[in-house]
A and B are shown apart, each in its own frame.
Chain A
Amino acid sequence: AQKITQTQPGMFVQEKEAVTLDCTYDTSDPSYGLFWYKQPSSGEMIFLIYQGSYDQQNATEGRYSLNFQKARKSANLVISASQLGDSAMYFCAMRESLTGTASKLTFGTGTRLQVTL
Chain B
Amino acid sequence: SQTIHQWPATLVQPVGSPLSLECTVEGTSNPNLYWYRQAAGRGLQLLFYSVGIGQISSEVPQNLSASRPQDRQFILSSKKLLLSDSGFYLCAWSWGINTGELFFGEGSRLTVL
Interface residues of B (CB under 8 A from A): 32, 34, 41-46, 49, 51, 57, 59, 88, 90, 92, 94, 96-97, 99-107, 109
Contacts and interface: CB of A to CB of B under 8 A. Distances in A.
Contact of B100 (A91, A98, A106, A110): A98
Nearest to B46: A104
A46 B103 CA distance: 7
Nearest to B101: A47
A30 interface: no
Q: How large is the interface on A (under 10, 10 to 19, 20 to 34, 35 or more residues)?
A: 20 to 34
A27 to B, nearest CB: 15
A47 B43 contact: no
6 contacts: A33-B100, A35-B101, A44-B106, A50-B99, A102-B94, A104-B46
B33 to A, nearest CB: 10
A24 to B, nearest CB: 14
A43 B106 contact: yes
A57 to B, nearest CB: 15
